[in-house]
Amino acid sequence: MNAFSAPKGTYDLLPPNSAEFLAVREALAAPLLRAGYGYVETPGFEHAELFARGVGESTDIVSKEMYTLSTRGGTELALRPEGTASVLRAALQGSLHRGALPVKLWYSGSYYRYERPQAGRYRHFSQVGAEALGAEDPALDAELLILADDAYRSLGLRGFRLLLNSLGDRECRPVYRAALQDFLRQLDLDEDTRHRIDINPLRVLDDKRESVREQLAGAPLVGDYLCESCKTYHEQVRELVRAAGVTFEDDPRLVRGLDYYTRTTFEFVHDGLGSQSAIGGGGRYDGLSEMIGGPALPSVGWALGVDRTVLALRKEDVELDLSTTPRVFAVPLGDEARRVLFGVVTALRREGIAADFAYGGKGLKNAMKSANRSGAAVALVLGERDLAEGLVQLKDLATGEQSPVPLDRVATALRGKVG
């Protein structure tokens, strides 16, 4: 038994499963690259106060789930539990907001929350995210919704649903907040939940406990309190998304789990995942920049879970094209053949042909077993006699057919075989 194992609630990505996760990350990012989003990477930890201000002290993420640590100098840091606050902090620090707006950024990385481990919920998880900073435009909200939908469909995922809502803005939400607080104070709730009513009552609507959800059946809906400006904005988002052929469901009770959302809020869910059905989500956060000490900077974004997307694909039995195996496997027989064939493999790789090599001085029989196990389509076998004649044997591993090819024509011959 190993002396150490991965910490509880975390996982290692190892071949061959790691190829599936990598393919999902690349597919989720591909539509963003086509839409002009630039890559951003932030530290794995930030000042804890950034998340307390941005995500919200009343959220479970900050109050219960954040990993914190103190430096020798007494600075309190936190492993990042989400990506938006970090990306916005980086954009402000780098003065990106002083240039052309909107600033469109995407990112990919690991995030950390101290949660009860279960299927689809880990203490270390992977996301691909996108943020569009500095513009209040329904077309930008719609763009991100469409890009996420395109990303999921490009993977072959079909059994997901898009839930859509509006949370209003600083003009109309206070009226709704007061009405909601009046309703919640009449319910039979525990002390922690009642405390949350005063800080951020919308968080109570996100409570997953059945005993609480039953009491929320008659709660006032934010849609009934939207001002005309928010109603118009939300309808424009809906029209643009619908015109793009993206199906969605209006969910008047959708609030998400973070304090910074305003107006557009949405969630992608997959019913095959049980209670942890969300595979991605996001929304508009027009006041977040000011919350963390920056200027007014209306923005919108999302984060799509790589882990949960992989689980959803497996639920639908979707097999991705994981073309990571070498197309060519080189088998040298003898020291001089080994030197020459290693050079051939290096040249093939530089020309874009995936190739592997029989390392460890294996004999022909064991080397051919390795070639078959590798999943390669073709084996290159070079012995002393072939070497003297300037040839290499090209063997089709599927049919067993073998033919000699001049050493200086290997790449040309292989293109016809493996592309």
Whole-angstrom distance, CA of residue 71 vs CA of residue 147: 40
Backbone angles phi, psi at 300, to 5 degrees: -150, 150
402 a known binding residue?
no
- Tell me how far CA of residue 375 lies from CA of 41, 186, 265, in angstroms: 35, 65, 45
82 a known binding residue?
yes
Residues 6+ away with beta carbon under 8 Å from 228: none
Q: Let me know: does 331 contact 360? Beta carbons within 8 Å.
A: no
84 a known binding residue?
yes
264 a known binding residue?
no
The burial of 284, by beta-carbon neighbours within 10 Å (0-12 exposed, 13-18 middle, 19 or more buried), is given as buried
Whole-angstrom distance, CA of residue 227 vs CA of residue 164: 18
242 a known binding residue?
no
CA-atom Rg of the chain in angstroms: 27
Distance of CA 346 to the CA centre of its chain: 34
- Tell me how far CA of residue 8 lies from CA of 5, 80, 115, 276, in angstroms: 9, 18, 10, 18
261 a known binding residue?
yes
Backbone angles phi, psi at 305, to 5 degrees: -80, 120
83 a known binding residue?
yes
Binding residues: 82-84, 113, 127, 131, 256, 260-261
Binding residues for L-histidine: 82-84, 113, 127, 131, 256, 260-261
